[in-house]
Amino acid sequence: MPTSRLRGTRRLLQLARPQVVYLYAGCLVLLIRLPFSLSIPHFVSTTLTALSQGNFHLARAEIAWLFLFGTLDAVFDFWCVFLFGYANQRIVRGVRVDLLGVLLRQDVAFFDATSSGELASRLNSDCSEMAGDLTWFFRFSIESVVRIVGITIYMLVRSPVLGACALSIVPVVGIINKFYGDWLSRNATLVQDALADANAVAQETLANVRTVIAFAAESKEEARYERKIQRQYELNIKQLYMTGVYYMAVSTFLINTIVQSSLLWIGANLIAQHRLAPEVLLAFMLYQGQLQNETLNLFRSFSSLIKSSGAGDKVFALLDRRPPAPATGSRSQANQYNVRFEQVSFRYPTRPDHLVLNHLDLEIEQGQTLALVGSSGCGKSTIVNLLQRFYDPNAGSIVVNGQDLRRLDLEAHRRHIGVVTQDPVLFDDSIWQNIVYGAPHATREDAVRAAKLAHADAFIRSFPQGYDTGVGERGVQLSGGQLQRIAIARAMVQKPSLLLLDEATSALDAASEQIVQDALDRLLEKGNMTTVVVAHRLRTVRNADQIAVIDQGKVVEKGTHVELLQLRSGLYRKMVGRAGNTGILPE
Ligand SMILES: Nc1ncnc2c1ncn2[C@@H]1O[C@H](COP(=O)(O)OP(=O)(O)OP(=O)(O)O)[C@@H](O)[C@H]1O
């Protein structure tokens, strides 16, 4: 076995460590049970022998023993299944929770490059594939070894010649299984990758089903999914073929045909030479079936372990993934936000050849509102992303109250930030739970208070279930304006020190925009917070304390609305001129 596979297998076995209590209990029950189940063929052969000798009294006694031992065997069997299965479920649950925890702590760049569908597939399919059979390995390897040893001793004691014949198959099956197991493991990795690819397409299509329907692209998406799932289908067919060959060669041909006929042939000769009693051959035939089953179980449990470790490769790689930069500093953060961008340059990790911010300098003063304007793609949202520390600058630094942002406690920093974007995402929960999403200690009353400020209370109360109304996945059961106002209430509940409004009203019609803008104005009036606004509406921009015009990754103009209009050939002045009566700054 290659060392990497050995390491993967060892790692997989370590997953079972926290469940040792249940595994030990399962093994104990297994050991108690074995003598009972091993004795069944013995009682069958003694009963038949007694019958052939006309000794009905002895036959009845043997049947009674068989019944008693068989019943005890059945009771213990339940506990074996339950204890090993229980440990298994705990392992799968643990891996899934750990994996989601690790994924949620990755850097945002990781999610730019990895689709959520692929990650969901790793979380669901890979986790159950890798850990689903893990404890059965313990059960079957222990059970099979003990049974094989027990049967071997029985056979060798009763007839060494027949015993040697029956046992000769064990190493042959072992060698075949080694190759079969290695192949299964390689194939399992490919199957899980192909499934993750297909799931990524399915998830993307379903998450954006309205767009798919609107473009009548159902057949196109179906075909795209079919192309991806085809690969997994072909790999599974290949596996099916190999499994068929394996069962044909090992189980049916080698064991059923070769071993059984050899045993009968040798046994018949020995009986003819009066060197073997017929009932011993009968017991041998019964035990050899068990022996071959256990041999197959033993090797199958090993190949299934190796296959699981193949399926687990990607899960372990994700579990080991550490975000590239130290995720957080430890400096605590005051509720003040005096922010300076000093010579900040930035490229997105997924597009390293595109310089988005180019030695950008920018100052955002505590308590003031700064509006960012500029053509589409000039880097406004990127500045908002850097303020949330979704990414770190490639050069220069962002300084908050004299401290480099990288040194601040990241979680505390994010708790100080309120964000309202053009397309706010709500979770599939009640309205009030969504409003208190970012404020763990906020109550339902806080949610109601925030909703009133955000002009959301009236429409929420108009729903039959009021604040307990569910919003659907991503808030799909609400209108755009309602969604925005709940997002504003969500930001209000947080009592942010730094408020980021990224095109918060741009998706709305004039009437809804007016209502949402009023809600935002109230929010801005209420707190002494620092605010960064990205907007195309002149009305929003004009009221800002400062306006920064971004062009080619730099701030090219900065000042108040009035100051910037005075710059004769200024970019802002041109944009306002082109906005004309629409009140919308051009992109
Ligand atoms: N996650 C990302 N990965 C790679 N490139 C990105 C990413 N997000 C944005 N970009 C690129 O960075 C540049 C700046 O984008 P940004 O979203 O900051 O522009 P913007 O000024 O907010 O534009 P708009 O006004 O259209 O919203 C664009 O060229 C964009 O294609």
Q: Say what the pLDDT of residue 344 is.
A: 94
Q: Which atom of ligand 1 is nearest to the CA of 379?
A: 18
Q: Quote the CA–CA distance of 353 and 24 in Å, as a whole number.
A: 56
Q: How far is the CA of 554 from the centre of ligand 1 (A)?
A: 14
Residue 397's φ and ψ, nearest 5 degrees, are: -150, 160
Tell me, letter by letter, the H, E, C secondary structure of 502-558. ECCCCCCCHHHHHHHHHHHHHHHHHCCCEEEEECCEHHHHHCCCEEEEEECCEEEEE
Mutation choice for ligand 1 from 112, 345, 356, CB with most ligand atoms inside 8 A: 356
Q: How far is the CA of 369 from the centre of ligand 1 (A)?
A: 22
Q: Whose CA is nearest to atom 6 of ligand 1?
A: 348
Pairing of strands 339-346, 395-400: antiparallel
**DSSP calls for 398-452:** EEETTEEGGGB-HHHHHHTEEEEESS----SSBHHHHHTTT-TT--HHHHHHHHH
Q: How far is the CA of 549 from the centre of ligand 1 (A)?
A: 16
Q: How far is the CA of 374 from the centre of ligand 1 (A)?
A: 12
pLDDT, one tens digit for every residue, the chain (587 residues): 556 667 778 888 888 888 889 989 998 998 898 888 888 888 888 898 888 888 999 999 999 999 999 999 999 989 988 998 899 889 989 999 999 999 988 888 888 888 888 888 888 888 888 877 777 788 888 888 888 888 888 888 888 888 888 888 778 887 888 888 888 878 888 888 898 889 888 988 888 887 788 778 888 999 999 999 999 999 999 999 998 998 888 878 887 788 888 889 999 999 999 888 888 888 888 888 888 888 878 877 877 787 787 778 888 889 998 876 655 666 656 678 889 999 999 999 889 999 999 999 999 988 888 999 988 888 999 999 999 998 999 999 999 988 888 888 888 888 889 888 888 888 888 999 999 998 888 899 999 998 888 888 888 999 889 899 888 777 778 887 888 889 988 988 888 889 998 887 765 666 666 776 777 777 666 557 899 999 877 777 888 889 999 998 999 999 998 998 888 888 888 888 876 666 676 66
Q: Whose CA is nearest to atom 5 of ligand 1?
A: 348
Q: How far is the CA of 477 from the centre of ligand 1 (A)?
A: 29
Q: Whose CA is nearest to atom 7 of ligand 1?
A: 348
CA 413-417-421 angle, 5° bins: 140
> In this structure, what is the dihedral angle of CA atoms 159, 160, 164, 170, given to the nearest 10 degrees?
70
Q: Whose CA is nearest to atom 10 of ligand 1?
A: 348
Which tokens belong to 153?
Answer: 């001793």
Residues 6+ positions from 406 with CB-CB distance below 8 Å: 325, 326, 329, 389, 392, 397
CA-wise closest residue to 458 among 527, 503, 519: 519
CA-wise closest residue to 300 among 255, 256, 246: 246
Instruction: Give all domains of the chain, ordered by start, each with its CATH number.
Output: 11-320 (1.20.1560.10), 424-495 (3.40.50.300)
- The helix/strand count (H/E) of the chain reads as 23, 10
CA-wise closest residue to 579 among 560, 565, 568: 565
Task: Report yes or no: 517 and 540 within 8 Å, Cβ to Cβ.
Answer: yes
Q: How far is the CA of 533 from the centre of ligand 1 (A)?
A: 16
Q: Which atom of ligand 1 is nearest to the CA of 503?
A: 27
Which tokens belong to 478?
Answer: 């609400």
Task: Report yes or no: 195 and 110 within 8 Å, Cβ to Cβ.
Answer: no
Q: Determine the longest span between alpha carbons in the chain, in angstroms.
A: 121
Residue 395's φ and ψ, nearest 5 degrees, are: -145, 160
Q: Whose CA is nearest to atom 3 of ligand 1?
A: 348
Q: Say what the pLDDT of residue 508 is.
A: 63
Q: Which atom of ligand 1 is nearest to the CA of 372?
A: 21
Q: How far is the CA of 348 from the centre of ligand 1 (A)?
A: 9
The amino acid sitting at 254 is L
For residue 340, is it left (φ>0), alpha (ψ between -120 and 50) or beta?
beta
Q: What ipTM describes this predicted complex?
A: 0.97
* pTM of the model as a whole: 0.74
The binding-site residues of ligand 1, defined as CB within 6 angstroms of any ligand atom, are: 112, 348, 350-351, 356, 374, 376-382
The sign of the dihedral angle between the CA atoms of 57, 62, 67, 69 is: positive
Q: How far is the CA of 350 from the centre of ligand 1 (A)?
A: 12
Q: How far is the CA of 379 from the centre of ligand 1 (A)?
A: 6
Q: Which atom of ligand 1 is nearest to the CA of 109?
A: 1
List C-alpha distances in Å: 107 to 112, 327, 386, 391. 9, 8, 12, 8
List C-alpha distances in Å: 162 to 2, 150, 286. 37, 16, 13
Residues 6+ positions from 237 with CB-CB distance below 8 Å: none
CB count within 10 Å of CB 248 equals 11
